[in-house]
Homo-oligomer: A and B are copies of this chain.
């Protein structure tokens, strides 16, 4: 279909946003719109500039015969500070406190728009790592995992606490919950993870890190590697944290269940996030 530049810009934007991290050749667009590659190239220049100015992400150019353009979703530093500070305000409500120092996060995790943004922030900070799959444990980590995975264009695998008939054969491990000290069970379908995969682990909440540590151990059973660990909320400094390197958006700095008081601050996110280098004048060919 022949289509004019203005319509082309709209459709290309939509297409690229819908295909993050997919290498799209100039010929694909040129065929799609019946337009010359030089025009497509100009269009991509406009899109790249706008995406970077508006903090939507970046377009990477891959040169050569097998080349093309790739949309890399990327949250701006400014937007991320704003968003995390909004999250902190949302979380710092005493009525969220539940017995045992747990937090009611169901409403936040139940909001697809917030979850998408959380996913974008993790996709940004893990942007440079080789990630083949995102892993989480049922239930509350699942939406976050999908949001990250959609931006990274990789599949999700879900670890369960119980084995289910619809998953086929499974691998099961025991682990010790760091906060309660109890032994728990963790199960993953054998078919769901290939050997040698690079796995990004995400979850909604981390106290001592027992659950995440359990996932790390489970990965060993699959001969898979940890590409990174991301948690939405980490609870206040715990001395014997079972997990070494992780990235958190929000940290509970003070929890007093009796006084019904919580204090919330930015997690360690910005220690890891690198701002997108703008003004990259690389030409789109």
Contact = CB atoms under 8 A, between A and B. Distances in A.
Nearest to A100: B165
Interface stretch (A61-69, A83-91, A153-161, A264-272): A153-161
A27 to B, nearest CB: 19
Interface string A88-126: 000000000011101111110011110110000000000
Nearest to A169: B98
Copies of this chain, tallied across the complex: 2
B168 A104 contact: yes
Given A6-B46, A143-B142, A157-B110, A56 B14 contact: yes
Contacts of A191: 104, 106-107
A110 B46 contact: no
Contacts of A11: 50, 54, 56
A15 to B, nearest CB: 8
B156 A143 contact: yes
Contacts of A98: 165-168
Between A1, A56, A116, A155, the greatest number of chain B beta carbons within 10 A of the residue's beta carbon is seen for A155
Given A6-B9, A191-B106, A116 B157 contact: no
Interface string A1-32: 10101110111011001000000000000000
Given A110-B158, A156-B110, A167-B104, A10 B139 contact: no
Interface string A158-193: 101000111110000000000000000000010110
20 contacts: A3-B53, A13-B14, A14-B17, A14-B56, A98-B165, A98-B167, A104-B166, A104-B167, A104-B168, A104-B191, A106-B167, A107-B191, A110-B156, A110-B157, A110-B192, A115-B146, A140-B166, A142-B142, A142-B143, A143-B143
Given A104-B168, A143-B156, 14 more contacts: A1-B53, A10-B51, A13-B17, A99-B165, A100-B165, A106-B158, A107-B192, A110-B155, A110-B157, A110-B158, A112-B154, A113-B150, A139-B142, A142-B143
Q: Which 5 A-B pairs have the closest CB atoms?
A: A112-B150, A10-B50, A13-B13, A7-B50, A102-B166
Interface of A: 1, 3, 5-7, 9-11, 13-14, 17, 46-47, 49-51, 53-54, 56, 98-100, 102-107, 110-113, 115-116, 138-140, 142-143, 146-147, 149-150, 153-158, 160, 164-168, 189, 191-192, 205
